[in-house]
Amino acid sequence: MSNFVDECNFCARAGDGGFGCVSFRREAHVPYGGPDGGDGGDGGSVWLEADRSVVSLLGFRDHPHRIAKSGVHGQGAKKHGKRGEDLIVKVPEGTIVYDRETEEMLVDLAAHGDRWCASRGGEGGKGNARFLSNKRRAPDFAEQGEKCEDTWYRLELKLMADVALVGYPSVGKSTLISVISKAKPKIADYPFTTLEPNLGVVSMDSETQYVVADLPGLIEGAHEGQGLGFRFLRHIERARVLVYMLDLSLVDGDSPARQLEVLRRELERYKPELLDRPSIVVASKEDMLTVADWNDSALEEVVEFSISSLQSKGLKPLMWRMAQLVKESKDSEPPRRGFVTHRPEPSGVRVERDIDGAWIVRGREAERAVALSDMGNILALDHARAKLNKIGVDKALRHAGVKEGEEVRIGGFSFEYYEDL
């Protein structure tokens, strides 16, 4: 089984909020001690963070679940519960997060340090000390902690390489990257030896380094899924520089000129903008044949380098040319700042009709007002009702046309609707 995984499912669940405490002061010579219940701690959130030291999504293949710690419950004497620790989940640079149900792209963690909140921690409940007022001198209720549920995503990795080697199967890409870097890809004399991308770091000197990707071979029809199809093509998208490698020996009868034509056409049909990337055309396996032997003057004009990886011939000039184009690409980019992205929180209240005829109130504030309250306590119920009125639930129900006696559901709580007299 491969150790390189570039697509997987991921389940995030933030920590639950701690419960608020119901407590009253108990002191000598103080006959009527007031409420002193502390708040529960917020649950920890689950964050995805791009890290250049992670190269694959392998860790999610067999263990997709990530769960943050819950908040601690509040205690008497106004002791608040400890907040649950956030869980930072490291993913490779270039990881894209999709909603598993809708396939909507949510975030692209393209650079080292980019962070995104996959599941926000539940809010801790308020203790009864929070509900003390002139009208309510001895509140005997507290809020419960907010519960969090599993949220599923699909993760997809597009490699972040400076240079991508593009060519037919068995054109010599794996041999080249094994010679110019410390990468050790599988090398053999049959097509599709490389079934997964390989990354190698090329060090020219102490200040000049870049990453080269050896990708599975490209064949005609790849944009339609032929060969390894899209699994290969999507890894080209991030590369700053493309190196077209042409086999000087016969490859399925295709001449080097025909190979270059097919490679460029497949990239154009997949994503036309790829043809605008800086590129180098390299003739591979010079030890077997030379470009001149094909008597193709047009091809000689576009081929910048002719190399033999086995004999280490012509590699240094090619490596420096790669470094030059990578540097020019980086210099032309505007400075990029690290960022932190949060999941958008829908606001407001909306009312929908369920298939069984009941009315459903949706909205984070309304659902939280019910979820945090102890609906079995009359005082807590009145408090929740006041909060719902404040955020406009009654108004939204009347606007939707809810009639008296009809069922209304908010989160896990349901009741029959009656207007206030």
Which tokens is 16 given?
């639950």
Nearest by Cα to 97 from 46, 140, 54, 156: 156
Same domain, 173 and 277: yes
Task: In whole angstroms, give the CA distance from residue 268 to residue 302.
Answer: 18
- Coil, helix or strand at residue 21: coil
Is residue 342 in a domain? no
- Given 298, 332, 366, which residue is the final one in a domain? 332
* pLDDT attached to residue 226: 47
Same domain, 303 and 354: no
Per-range mean pLDDT, top range of 114-118, 248-252, 385-389? 114-118
Cβ neighbors of 245 (< 8 A, separation 6 or more) are: 165, 166, 167, 171, 172, 173, 176, 282, 284
The two most distant CA atoms of the chain are separated, in Å, by: 108
Q: Give the CATH number for residue 251.
A: 3.40.50.300
- Cβ atoms of 263 and 218 within 8 Å: the answer is yes
Strand order in the sheet with 350-353: 350-353, 359-362, 407-410, 413-416
Same domain, 251 and 104: no
Same domain, 396 and 248: no
Is residue 184 in a domain? yes
* pLDDT attached to residue 294: 56
CA 129, 135, 139, 145 torsion: positive or negative? negative
Q: By percentage, how much of the chain surpasses pLDDT 90?
A: 20
Task: In whole angstroms, give the CA distance from residue 364 to residue 75.
Answer: 27
Residue 189 pLDDT > 60: no
Is residue 337 in a domain? no
Which band of pLDDT confidence, cut at 50, 70 and 90, is reported for residue 280? Answer: very high
Name the β-bridge partners of 279. 242
Which tokens is 392 given?
């406009």
Same domain, 297 and 408: no
Task: In whole angstroms, give the CA distance from residue 178 to residue 174.
Answer: 6
How do residues 25-44 score in pLDDT, each as one tens digit?
A: 887 777 667 889 999 999 99
Same domain, 327 and 271: yes
Same domain, 170 and 90: no
Is residue 12 in a domain? yes
* pLDDT attached to residue 4: 59
Lowest mean pLDDT among 75-84, 191-200, 310-319, 373-382: 191-200
Q: How far is CA 81 from CA 74, 128, 239, in A?
A: 4, 14, 48
217-223 mean pLDDT: 53
Is residue 341 in a domain? no
Q: What is the mean pLDDT of the chain?
A: 80
Could you tell me if residue 399 is left (phi over 0), alpha (psi between -120 and 50 degrees) or otherwise beta?
A: alpha
Task: In whole angstroms, give the CA distance from residue 50 to residue 135.
Answer: 52
83-104 mean pLDDT: 91
| Displacement of CA 277 from its chain's centroid (Å) | 25
How do residues 311-369 score in pLDDT, each as one tens digit?
A: 878 889 999 999 999 988 888 876 655 555 555 555 678 888 888 888 888 877 888 77
Number of domains in the chain: 3
* pLDDT attached to residue 312: 79
Same domain, 153 and 170: no
Its domain, for residue 274, covers 163-332
Is residue 35 in a domain? yes
Q: Give the CATH number for residue 26.
A: 2.70.210.12
Residue 188 pLDDT > 70: no
* pLDDT attached to residue 191: 43
- Given 140, 157, 174, which residue is the final one in a domain? 157
235-256 mean pLDDT: 79
Same domain, 265 and 380: no
> What is residue 324's DSSP assignment?
H
Task: In whole angstroms, give the CA distance from residue 125 to residue 149.
Answer: 17
- Given 157, 191, 218, which residue is the final one in a domain? 157
Residue 403 pLDDT > 60: yes
Q: Give the CATH number for residue 383.
A: 3.30.300.350
